Chains A and B, each alone.
Chain A
Amino acid sequence: MIDAKHEITMEQKTAISRLASRRRFLMGAGALLLAPGVVLTARPAMADEAGRQRWGLLINTQLCTSGCTACLSACSNENGLRDNGRPSTDPHWIRKVQITDPGTGHVSNVPIMCQHCGKAQCVEVCPTGASMRRRDGIVLVDKHLCIGCRYCVMACPFKARGFVHEGVEEQRPSSPRGKGSAEGCTLCAHRIDKGLKPACAEACAKLGNGAMLFGDLNDPTSAIAKRVVAYGGGALRADLRTDPSVRYAGVTL
């Protein structure tokens, strides 16, 4: 039974529902506007509680040019990736994608490699635990556990996982790879462990246009974290909320 004092008139009801719908609309708009900002700035501003690193790349697509293949060749050379004359199965850990804005005709070059996601889909789907995320955020394949089912290849929204289709000879000691296993960019984990930059970032700085910035996203004092906070860095397929460690600046994704 409703108390007479608290009885709401019809007019009040309509006013409340109008307010509520307006609020809903405003909240929706706010979420739309704020979502990319929240995703981009919240991460690097806060250091990891356990003091762990999170290695990442910030790629300035305005500096990356279409003719340059410094990062591609450096990656192939560092990891012993050789073409076998069959482009559909040739190993590539980085691929350069051109994005053309239909409105302005502006062309952006976007090198795409494993995005080393915080919530990596390849890790989620792997049935053997071979696809894994290292302590410092690098997503790797444990090839001793990989059974070659290729779930990760299908799950990756960035087409960054590949598969070794043919027998490999003369591998690089730092990058073991063989037929029947999934593989992808390792962010040159073997170089990072020695205190070096990934081969692509080094080659881009030396031979290319300096479009790649490598660093620890968890360290608020690092150049990459500062740059991401100051200028932002878009995530590929941000709608999937995979929280990638590779960020892109200078292009609307």
Chain B
Amino acid sequence: MRHCNIKCLRKRGALLLWGMLLVCVGLSLPSAFSAARAADSAPSAFSDKLIRGHWSEKPEIMRAEHGKVLLEGMRAAARDTARKDDNTIERCVTCHIRRDENQKPVSASDARHFCVQCHAKLSVFINCFTCHASLPASDTAVMDAEVRNADAVKAHLEQWKQYEQEKAAKGAAK
């Protein structure tokens, strides 16, 4: 075996390091691609189920930041006269409407209300509905039965039903 001086050892060490780096990159590439695919597909799959569009493609952001988003919307409307209908509490309760057994939408006084349900689960004690309306007044979905049976609303309810079924199936599969 040839005697190896310090210079040679340094060279070998560097090569070894490069090799290890390449192996690491090689191992992580497939998983990175799959993660990227998952990141692309998951939100769009979710947003497809959302009715009448949503401000965010990523529900995780909305779950964490909806308070800030709503406050921003309020400030823009109240102070800067830049009112937008897509970041209001009315918008939240329009899409995330929950109904009782008689298909009547439930208000925040009911534990089944979308916002109340999650806030109760996570012990969040801010209650927007002491001041804000917990039901959308202008939305066709909460109007009387004749209006609620309109085609657009039927499609809306069907879509929602389908989404909940899929979610249930997904939960069962897990």
A residues with CB within 8 A of B: 80, 132, 134-136, 140, 142-144, 167-174, 176-179, 181, 189-190, 193-194
Q: A194–B135 Cα gap in the complex (Å)?
A: 21
A168 touches B131 (CB 8 A): yes
- 29 A-B residue pairs with CB within 8 Å: A134-B78, A134-B79, A135-B79, A135-B80, A140-B78, A142-B78, A142-B79, A143-B131, A144-B74, A168-B131, A169-B109, A170-B133, A170-B135, A171-B133, A173-B89, A173-B90, A173-B93, A173-B133, A173-B136, A176-B89, A176-B132, A178-B130, A181-B131, A189-B77, A189-B81, A190-B77, A193-B77, A193-B83, A194-B83
Q: Given A144-B71, A144-B74, does the pair A173, B132 have CB atoms closer than 8 Å?
A: yes
B81 touches A171 (CB 8 A): no
Q: A140–B83 Cα gap in the complex (Å)?
A: 14
The winner among A142, A169, A194 for most chain B CB atoms within 10 A is A169
Q: A174–B131 Cα gap in the complex (Å)?
A: 11
A179 touches B90 (CB 8 A): no
On chain A, the residues within 8 Å of B89 by CB distance are 173, 176
B131 touches A171 (CB 8 A): yes
Question: How does the 8 Å CB contact mask read for B122-139 relative to A, with 1 for contact and 0 for none?
Answer: 000000001111011110
A190 touches B131 (CB 8 A): no
Q: A252–B93 Cα gap in the complex (Å)?
A: 49
Specify the chain B residue showing the minimal Cβ separation from A178.
B131
Q: A189–B107 Cα gap in the complex (Å)?
A: 25
B159 within 8 A of A: no
Q: A169–B134 Cα gap in the complex (Å)?
A: 9
On chain A, the residues within 8 Å of B138 by CB distance are 173
On chain A, the residues within 8 Å of B81 by CB distance are 134-136, 189, 193
B140 within 8 A of A: no
Q: List 5 tightest A-B contacts by C-beta distance, closest first.
A: A178-B131, A173-B90, A193-B83, A173-B133, A176-B131
- The main secondary structure of chain A at its interface with chain B is loop
Specify the chain A residue showing the minimal Cβ separation from B139.
A173
Chain A min CB distance to B78 (Å): 6
CB < 8 Å neighbour of A179 from B78, B83, B130, B132: B130
Q: A172–B139 Cα gap in the complex (Å)?
A: 12
Chain A min CB distance to B85 (Å): 9
The winner among B74, B77, B80, B131 for most chain A CB atoms within 10 A is B131
B87 within 8 A of A: no
On chain A, the residues within 8 Å of B71 by CB distance are 144
A134-B81, A140-B78 given; name 20 further pairs at CB < 8 Å: A134-B79, A135-B79, A144-B71, A167-B130, A170-B135, A171-B131, A171-B132, A172-B137, A173-B90, A173-B93, A173-B137, A176-B131, A176-B133, A179-B130, A181-B131, A189-B78, A189-B81, A189-B83, A190-B77, A193-B77
